[in-house]
C-alpha cells in the first residue's frame, strides 16, 4: 500500500474510532439540561398555580400582605439559588421587587422527575388593601452560582379579607 493510501486509512480509522455510538461514557458529564422553573403557591409545600386562581393575601405580623410562593427548579446543580421575585398589581404604578438567597431541597415531582424545591416564600404585594379582586402578576427569576437561570410568570386574582380593605379603594 502506498504512503498516501496508508495515511488515508489511518485518518479514516481514527475518525471512526472517535465517533463511537454517541452515548455518554462513565467519565463524561451528564448531558446538559436546560434549567427551568415552575412558580406555584403554598406555604409548606409546592402547590401548582394553573390558570389564574383566586388567592387570599395573608396579612403579615408587620402589617404587610403577601401571597405564599413556592417553586420547582429543574436542571440546577446548586442547592443554593438566588431568587428575584417581582409582584405587580394590575393597574398599579410600581412593582415590588424581592431578593433572597435560598437553600432548596431535592425532591421528585409528581411526574417522577428530579427537581429542587422551595416552599413558603412570602411574596409581598404593594398596596394590597386595595388589591381585592385585582389581577396580580408574579414574576420569578432564579439563578445559580454557575450562571444558570430560569424564569416563570404566573397570575392570580387577589382576595383580601373584607375587614382589611380600605374604604377609599372601593
**Cell numbers at 53, concatenated:** 386562581
Domain boundaries, the chain: 34-163
Contact 73, 129 (CB under 8 A): no
Where residue 15 falls (left for φ over 0; alpha for ψ -120 to 50; beta otherwise) is alpha
- The pLDDT mean for the chain works out to 84
Give the closest residue to 71 by CA, choosing from 17, 121, 32: 121
Top CATH class of 34-163 equals mainly beta
pTM score of the predicted model: 0.78
pLDDT in tens, 84-141: 999 999 988 799 999 999 999 999 999 999 999 999 999 999 989 999 999 999 999 9
Amino acid at each position: 500500500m502506498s504512503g498516501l493510501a496508508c495515511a488515508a486509512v489511518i485518518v479514516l480509522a481514527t475518525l471512526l474510532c472517535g465517533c463511537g455510538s454517541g452515548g455518554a461514557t462513565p467519565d463524561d458529564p451528564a448531558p446538559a439540561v436546560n434549567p427551568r422553573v415552575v412558580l406555584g403557591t403554598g406555604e409548606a409545600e409546592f402547590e401548582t398555580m394553573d390558570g389564574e386562581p383566586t388567592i387570599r393575601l395573608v396579612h403579615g405580623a408587620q402589617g404587610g400582605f403577601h401571597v405564599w410562593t413556592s417553586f420547582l427548579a429543574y436542571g440546577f446543580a446548586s442547592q443554593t439559588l438566588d431568587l428575584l421575585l417581582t409582584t405587580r398589581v394590575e393597574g398599579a404604578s410600581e412593582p415590588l421587587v424581592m431578593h433572597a438567597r435560598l437553600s432548596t431541597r431535592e425532591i421528585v415531582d409528581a411526574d417522577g422527575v428530579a427537581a429542587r424545591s422551595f416552599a413558603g416564600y412570602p411574596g409581598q404585594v404593594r398596596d394590597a388593601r386595595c388589591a381585592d379582586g385585582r389581577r396580580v402578576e408574579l414574576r420569578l427569576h432564579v439563578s445559580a452560582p454557575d450562571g444558570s437561570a430560569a424564569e416563570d410568570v404566573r397570575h392570580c386574582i387577589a382576595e383580601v379579607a373584607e375587614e382589611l380593605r380600605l374604604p377609599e379603594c372601593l
